[in-house]
Amino acid sequence: MRALLIGVLLTLPCGGCEMAKSQVQVSAAAERKSEPTNRPDFETNVKPIFQARCQPCHFQGGQVYDKMPFDKPETVTRLGTKLFTRIKDEKERAVIREFLGQP
């Protein structure tokens, strides 16, 4: 579909180029929005990793919960891959990277 729109763009006279270009940009943006996101869910996929590895210290009642609560997605997002000092399993790291939106 995108190739067809680009082909149309190239064949239009200059007056239509800007309009066609904006239509291509809108179409590409719509395609990106309609693509399903495979980003892991915090509650379902990420939080259980931290519960298994970082409990009890980083969860309710833990010694460092007030400073670094790992039951909150904001904490995980803020710390990012610094969390990998404790998370060594590569599959678990991959889930966290996907959640963070990193390759």
| 74 token code pair | 């904001």
Query: Phi/psi of residue 32, each to 5°?
Result: -65, -40
Per-residue pLDDT, 8: 46
Among left, alpha and beta (phi > 0; psi -120 to 50; other), residue 65 is alpha
Report residue 39's pLDDT band, with 50, 70 and 90 as the boundaries: confident
Per-residue pLDDT, 20: 46
Report residue 78's pLDDT band, with 50, 70 and 90 as the boundaries: very high
The mean pLDDT value for 53-71 works out to: 96
- Between CA 3 and CA 67 the distance in angstroms is 51
Q: Of the ranges 24-28, 57-61, 80-84, which one carries the lowest mean pLDDT score? A: 24-28
Per-residue pLDDT, 30: 55
Per-residue pLDDT, 41: 96
